[in-house]
Amino acid sequence: MKVKMISRNPDDYQRETNKDIYKVVRNWNAPPDPFRAQTEYTRALNATKLERVFAKPFVASLDGHVEGVHILAKHPGRPSIVLSGARDGQVIVWALARRHRLATFQTHNGPVNGISVDVAAGNSFVTVGQDCTINRWRLPHTSNTVGGIICDQMDSLSLDGVPHAVSHLASSSNFVTCGDGVTVWGAQGNKKIREYEIGHDTVHCVRANPIEEAVLVGATSDRSIFVIDTRQAVPLTKATMKLRPNMVAWNPIEAYTFAVASDDYNLYTFDLRYLD
């Protein structure tokens, strides 16, 4: 009978004195790891996440809504003023610099679908809701006061259909809403300036260009995006995407560039000059 034994020389792995360093055994002829690149990527990604966690990015919490908040709008002339809309029809005006609530508006008898602040005057804002109404409200004059529930309503208009979004035109008190189509309203909110029939599907998003006063871009439920010039009676162009677009946003510096968020988890940037 043969017996195989494994023996090691203690001099190869033991220290001679307590002051010596530990000996490290390495295999210099080890085969390369086939997942080396994936391992390095995972380590780098985890290090980046931990760096952001330890950076403490959280600043403050603004409490006041009872239902879920799904609409945010900023003031075009006062950067510290932000408006938030909830599912119960409540809109709260916040002062971010002082981190307190300025005023609370019960705007609709249902979810708030859109909020837009008057770009020209800056003293009012328009809301659209699931209750088929367009309401215009007066903003608080100062950011030092802390107000409760107020009802400083300026105008109200009932519609035949549900408006899904609202946006003010650049340097103007006129605004645009969308739903069954796209409608441009006057400053008072009770006069239609122009109407556009985009198609048979619902227009769920529309945004006015922040620089060019007459240019709009929107998205419909039939996977298409469109561009409108309010000086013309028909839309300028219309393009169809592979999946449904969810939201559109203009570039605040380049007036001819906008981005579209799609159902395929991607963002697409379009140049208005080459959109055919």
Tokens of 116: 């837009």
Whether 200 is in a domain gets the answer yes
Tokens of 182: 């796209």
Closest of 187, 255, 267 to residue 215, by C-alpha? 255
Whether 44 is in a domain gets the answer no
Whether 133 is in a domain gets the answer yes
Please determine, for residue 74, whether its predicted confidence score (pLDDT) is greater than 60: yes
Q: What is the pLDDT of residues 162-214, one digit of tens each?
A: 999 999 999 888 999 999 999 999 887 678 899 999 888 899 999 999 998 88
Which residues lie below 8 Å from residue 31, measured CB to CB, with a gap of 6+? none
Identify the domain containing residue 242 by its residue range: 170-276
Whether 224 is in a domain gets the answer yes
| Cross-strand partners of 72 | 84
Same domain, 179 and 155: no
Q: Which of 125, 146, 163 is the last residue of a domain?
A: 163
Same domain, 79 and 156: yes
CATH classification of the domain holding 78: 2.40.128
CATH classification of the domain holding 262: 2.130.10.10
Domain count, the chain: 2
Same domain, 110 and 197: no
Query: Coil, strand or helix: which one is 42?
Result: helix
Residue 36 identity: R
Helix locations, 147-228, DSSP H? none
- Identify whether the C-beta of residue 184 lies closer than 8 Å to the C-beta of residue 226: no
Q: Which of 148, 163, 178 is the last residue of a domain?
A: 163
pTM for the model stands at 0.75
Same domain, 109 and 186: no
Please determine, for residue 89, whether its predicted confidence score (pLDDT) is greater than 70: yes
Q: Which of 107, 135, 163 is the last residue of a domain?
A: 163
Same domain, 157 and 189: no
pLDDT for the residue numbered 54? 81
**What per-residue string of b and e applies to 20-48 under the rule 16 or more CB within 10 Å gives b?**
eeeeeeeeeeeeeeeeeeeeeeeeeeeee
